[in-house]
Structure 1
Amino acid sequence: MPSDNPSRSSQNHVAREIARLIVTGTWPEGEILPREIELAAQFDVSRTSIRESLSILKAKGLIAAKQKAGTHVRERVNWNMLDAQLLEWTWALRPIAEFARQLLQVRRIVEPEASAICAVRGTDADLARIERAYREMEAAGSDARAYTEPDLRFHRAILTATANDFLVAFGATVDAALRMSFALSTRNPGAPSKSLPYHRAVLDAIWARDPNRARAEMHRLMDLTERNITTALARRKDGDALSSMLDADNAS
């Protein structure tokens, strides 16, 4: 969504462009950034906008400032890659296969256990929200675009139902990454409708208040997601950037 605040929009644009230079290695780890006045000229914005843009990037762990040494790019291990905005800015710059592999690893660690917790701790109202999301997925059928939003709500609702603040925050911060995962996994013809029985099995296990079964069924759903992603990637040239895929989707 475009910002109603021109100043905020300018800050986000500059922060995104600087993040791009860092993520692509144009400005590598340890690199000293140009001075504020030079950055302002480079991006044709005020020095105030530059300072605010740099503050955004500092909060995301990409850069740090040292007195008399200037602002430098931090090591990658310090980057907050669970920041939703940073994910949105950078995912198109990384090889799809590697990004998808890392994302799926994180989902496998978190979502099966979250499903087990949800089966035990989720309220009936929580489970009803998961059910509603499933019904909307069912109504979308094979329409991948219509399917994505309720699919996101399904997974987010499970995390929310754990009543664990950290798991709830996980769902919020990786929303952008989950969209990428779904964009890949649903590109195969018929993939959405084929995944419905797997989602239904997760939902039924949660309604049955069976944590072991809920955990196992979510693992099965993750297995299906991995197969769908692998198939989608096999149809593309190795190393293609995600941006080209997203651009094609937006144009269709």
Structure 2
Amino acid sequence: MAALNETFVETTDVKEQQRKSSSRPSVAEALAEAIFSGHYQPGDFVPKELALCEEFAINRSAVRSDLRQLVDVGIIERISGHGSKVRDYADWNILDPQVTEWMTRYAAPNPKVQREILTFRLDVEPYVAMTAAKRATARDLVALEEAYEGMGQNLHNATSPEERRLHSDYDVAFHAAIFKATHNIVWSQLSHILRPSIYLLVSMSNVSETDDPAESLERHRQLMECIRARQPREAFRAAQRVLAGTAKALGLDAPETSLGRGVELD
């Protein structure tokens, strides 16, 4: 019984320490917001440890612990005698759950991050759509249609932020359903990992005034019909058109480096 009581006390102490730790200001969170929003660019140095200690009124050990979070996911690097520098986007572990969460919350004002995500999607999603057109089952098509109908319903009836959020949720579900319809376990799992980054672009483009929502919905319908009709080539092109509309809504030029540009499909 004594041992049990000691274990309980130790567990309680750990929980109390975690509570106190979580209640202090988070340097990692603040720097992540500043970096993802574009305040600090790759190559920039973030404030030094002592400056962060003073700003957040926490000790140096806590600052170092928070900086370590950003180092571990490749966002910053520690340079002895100089401080901490933001690394190139290519070095960021954007598939890490913490990084994708930060990206979703803080990257909306940063067109460079948006462009990186858009470039990746243009490289990948047309091929995913082409594969889905070959392999989609009846159940996959039902999931795709339900997501599409949800988009339409919450587009036409959207009079509140919650309804607009639902429209974006269904939009993300639409794209996730295409990944799953490939029946490839890697693509299917990747749809979960990519969900936050897809949501970032979807939510931003759906509130844009530079693209007609009805036209966007029609592009999604055409993509769905190409998959339903088992037309891989047409699905590839339809996916490109959907993403070109996203680029237009975000005010971004469609990246010229996408793998699908200039590809001749059989």
Q: TM-score, normalised by structure 2?
A: 0.66
Pick closer, same or farther for the CA change 1:79–1:9 going to 2, 3 Å. Answer: farther
Q: Deviations over 1:22-52 (max 9, x none)?
A: 56565973848634x7644432235564344
Distance 1:33 1:218 in 2: 42
Does residue 72 of structure 1 match 2:84?
yes
Match of 2:215 among 170, 194, 198: 194
Deviation of 1:113 after TM superposition, in Å, equals: 0.8
Aligned partner of 2:71 in structure 1 is: 58
Match of 1:205 among 226, 229, 237: 226
Q: Secondary structure at the match of 2:230?
A: coil
Query: More displaced, 201-210 or 37-46?
Result: 37-46
Quote the RMSD (CA, aligned, Å). 3.5
- CA contact under 8 A between 1:33 and 1:73: conserved in structure 2? no
**Overall identity of the aligned pairs, in %:** 26
Describe how 1:45-194 pairs up with structure 2 within 5 A.
45=58, 49-65=62-78, 72-73=84-85, 75-76=87-88, 77-82=90-95, 83-88=99-104, 90-92=106-108, 94=110, 96=111, 98-142=112-156, 143=158, 144-168=164-188, 170-186=190-206, 187-188=208-209, 191-194=212-215
Pick closer, same or farther for the CA change 1:7–1:27 going to 2, 3 Å. Answer: farther
Deviation of 1:57 after TM superposition, in Å, equals: 0.8
Distance 1:204 1:8 in 2: 48
Structure 1: runs of 5 or more not aligned: 234-252
Distance 1:119 1:175 in 2: 21
Match of 1:29 among 32, 43, 53: 43
Deviation of 1:115 after TM superposition, in Å, equals: 0.7
Q: Secondary structure at the match of 2:241?
A: helix
- CA contact under 8 A between 1:115 and 1:159: conserved in structure 2? yes
Q: TM-score, normalised by structure 1?
A: 0.69
- CA contact under 8 A between 1:159 and 1:168: conserved in structure 2? yes
Pick closer, same or farther for the CA change 1:103–1:121 going to 2, 3 Å. Answer: same
Match of 2:57 among 19, 44, 53: 44
Residue type matched to 1:197 in 2? E
Residue type matched to 1:200 in 2? R
- CA contact under 8 A between 1:63 and 1:73: conserved in structure 2? yes
Distance 1:48 1:161 in 2: 48
Residue type matched to 2:119 in 1? Q
Aligned partner of 1:237 in structure 2 is: none
Distance 2:230 2:168 in 1: 26
Task: Say which one has the larger Rg.
Answer: 2
Residue type matched to 2:127 in 1? E
- CA contact under 8 A between 2:176 and 2:191: conserved in structure 1? yes
Residue type matched to 1:103 in 2? I
Deviation of 1:201 after TM superposition, in Å, equals: 1.6
Distance 2:248 2:117 in 1: 14
Residue type matched to 2:103 in 1? L
Deviation of 1:9 after TM superposition, in Å, equals: 6.4
Q: Secondary structure at the match of 2:107?
A: helix
Equivalent pairs, count: 223
Deviation of 1:160 after TM superposition, in Å, equals: 2.8
Structure 2: runs of 5 or more not aligned: 1-17, 159-163, 253-266
